[in-house]
Amino acid sequence: MTQARKYSIGVFDSGFGGLAILKDIHARMPDYSYVYLGDTARTPYGSRSSEVVYQFTLQAIEKLFSQGCGLIIIACNTASAEALRKIQQEYLPTHYPDRRVLGVIIPAAEEAIHLTRNGRIGVLATEGTVRSETFSKELKKLNPKVQVFQQAAPLLVPFVEEGAHRSEAAQLVVASYLRPLLKHRIDTLILGCTHYGHLESLIKKEIGPGVRVLSEGKVVAKKLENYLARHPEIEKTLKCTGGLTFYTTDLTEKFKTVGSALFGRPLTPKSITLG
């Protein structure tokens, strides 16, 4: 009798940021086999058009499938906002009906609805994510009464990528992005970008104790575990051999240094080409 093929879990991001999400997923479920792909050669996605984000994301998904992934988490909010639905509805059914692609926006939205008391939720994200209105749509689907206030924060990703996320300059920029959200009297703030988890303590300091700050890593890990418990037909196709493989589309020293810092332990990335 032939053994059924077993798959890894893929985690995709436009660059380094998704390593923080993988870190939390791996900490919660270390027995699965993981493949990370960061499209560092083409990052950032946040200021690109929807069409380009879709094309890049699809290329990454195809590559991860070809590397033996059966379930992929799109850790990038911009790609989740602008490409996930089309991939799930149009691409998977015709190309890979037995594999799955999930994003980070619905898990974050569900948690925010659970946390808010006054129904006023803030979202800090990239320009692309804000423009797509995906957070607003998903939050309102869960509770039509909530009010959602979005703020694009394009300057924050470079601070994290340059390792300057604890600097005074970062603090000033964070404060200026939070001011309009505070005026709207939000009580919950979604950090809707892979990188912003690294600014969490700075953001908490600036925003004060009255606002709950929701960082995605732990939420996504918890929801993924829950998803696998509810979908044994997917869970049983996953390899339980452990293992972490890292791919980047631009193999630089920086991927090793910044990536290792974000992931919390040394990593040895390999080069991969998309498109």
Q: Hey, which residues are catalytic here?
A: 76, 193
Burial class (CB in 10 A: 0-12, 13-18, 19+), 48: buried
Pick 113 or 123: Cβ nearer ligand DGL:
123
**Tokens describing residue 159:** 């601070």
Q: Rounded to the nearest 5°, which phi and psi values hold at 173?
A: -65, -45
Contact call for residue 193 and ligand DGL (CB under 6 A):
yes
Per-residue interface string for the shown chain with ligand DGL, residues 15-44, x marking contact by CB under 6 A = x-x-------------------------xx
Query: Between residues 106 and 238, which has the closer beta carbon with respect to ligand DGL?
Result: 106
Q: Which of 157, 211, 213, 244 binds ligand DGL (CB under 6 A)?
A: 157
Q: How far is Cα 170 from Cα 103, in angstroms, rounded to an integer?
A: 28
Out of 40, 116, 126, 215, name the contact with ligand DGL by CB under 6 A.
Answer: 126
Our CB check for ligand DGL shows the closer of 7 and 12 to be 12
Regarding 129 and contact with ligand DGL (CB under 6 A), the answer is: yes
Quick one: 69 or 190, whose CB is closer to ligand DGL? 190
**Region of 8-16, 108-116, 135-143, 217-225 interacting with ligand DGL (CB under 6 A):** 8-16
* One residue of 12, 13, 36, 73 binding ligand DGL per CB under 6 A: 13
Angle separating helix axes 216-230 and 18-28, nearest 10 degrees? 50
Beta pairing partners, 123 = 150, 190
d(CA 268, CA 208): 38
Which tokens is 234 given?
A: 């997917």
Minimum CB separation from ligand DGL for residue 240, in Å? 28
| By the rule CB under 6 A, 60 interacts with ligand DGL | no
Question: Residues touching ligand DGL: how many (CB under 6 A)?
Answer: 17
Smallest distance, ligand DGL to C-beta of residue 193, A: 4
Q: Which amino acid is at 55?
A: Q
Residue with CB nearest ligand DGL?
A: 46
Which one among 8, 40, 57, 78 touches ligand DGL, defined by CB under 6 A?
Answer: 78
Angle between helical axes of 200-207 and 168-183 (0-180°, round to 10): 50
Residue 198 in contact with ligand DGL, rule: CB under 6 A: no
Task: Pick the closer one to ligand DGL by CB: 32 or 56.
Answer: 56
Closest CB to ligand DGL among residues 17, 238: 17
> Least distance (Å) from ligand DGL to the CB of residue 239?
26
Q: Draw the binding track, 226-265, toward ligand DGL (x: CB under 6 A; -: no contact).
A: ----------------------------------------
- Amino acid identity for residue 130 in this structure: V
- Which residues of the shown chain bind ligand DGL in the complex (CB under 6 A)? 13-15, 17, 43-46, 76-78, 126, 129, 157, 193-195
